[in-house]
Structure 1
């Protein structure tokens, strides 16, 4: 069991979010769903918590009501091996959500993600600091990262 894992507060979409995320990431599964009973505080039978795993990372989603919202202060970085993986995850996670700058997006639940090709870190760490600077400038113009354009910078 993972000692530390993210705990995500939703208004009433914990189960919907869990199912959405599990449908997107290939190595994923639902672990457990706990429903409210007679003593509440949610409606009897509704989801209280939903535990799931995405690519080996455990998450818990809570239906806690409208008290808290997600912000960009916390995001999940997804390391992608190639452009096809970047494209697939970007397209799926932005469905009903919102694209932002430099690989960032908000999904339809307002949760922030960064869809980052692993080659980006290599290019930004290039010993040729002028090349690394051009890569940074190119990235700053992008929403979804385009590996070919980064390599050409």
Structure 2
């Protein structure tokens, strides 16, 4: 059976750090790659070399990102987060440490009523991640 294109894709808008973010994310997960990247040229409208649009995969799941050349009064919010089911405690701890580095810990790794092993962070780019040990819970619904 032929693989169908992904109909709905998470879209991340950065302001100048898109390539840094996608390189960081693809280094963390197996089956990850930069699929396609288009950069601004000397004629703009964004800064030359920054990302017009990029497609990348994390654990086989595709994402799209851009570097917005327009400054916005908003950024990422934990109201929308990427939920990761980790296969092992070692994977959970590795991802948590990497994503929390220069980021913000929202819920430290621990046992919560909804999960025996869970953590929640905003990474250095402001993207929110919920990390759960596979089969241990369903995430925060507060």
User: TM-score scaled to structure 2, two decimals?
Assistant: 0.79
- Structure 1 stretches of 4+ with a deviation exceeding 3 A read none
- State the match for 1:105 in structure 2: 121
- State the match for 1:74 in structure 2: 80
Q: Within 2, Cα distance between the matches of 1:86 and 1:104?
A: 11
**Measured at CA, do residues 84 and 48 of structure 1 come closer, stay the same or move farther in structure 2, by a change above 3 Å?**
same
More helix per residue: 1 or 2? 1
Count of residue pairs brought into register by the alignment: 123
Q: Give the deviation of 1:39 after TM superposition.
A: 4.5
Please tell me the root mean square deviation across aligned C-alpha atoms, in Å. Answer: 1.8
- State the match for 1:45 in structure 2: 49
Where 1:120 maps in the other structure, the secondary structure is coil
What pairs with 1:49-60 in structure 2 (closer than 5 Å)? 49-60=53-64
Which runs of 5 or more residues in structure 2 are unaligned? 108-117
Larger-Rg structure = 1
More strand per residue: 1 or 2? 2
Q: Within 2, Cα distance between the matches of 1:99 and 1:71?
A: 13
What pairs with 1:130-145 in structure 2 (closer than 5 Å)? none
Which runs of 5 or more residues in structure 1 are unaligned? 125-153
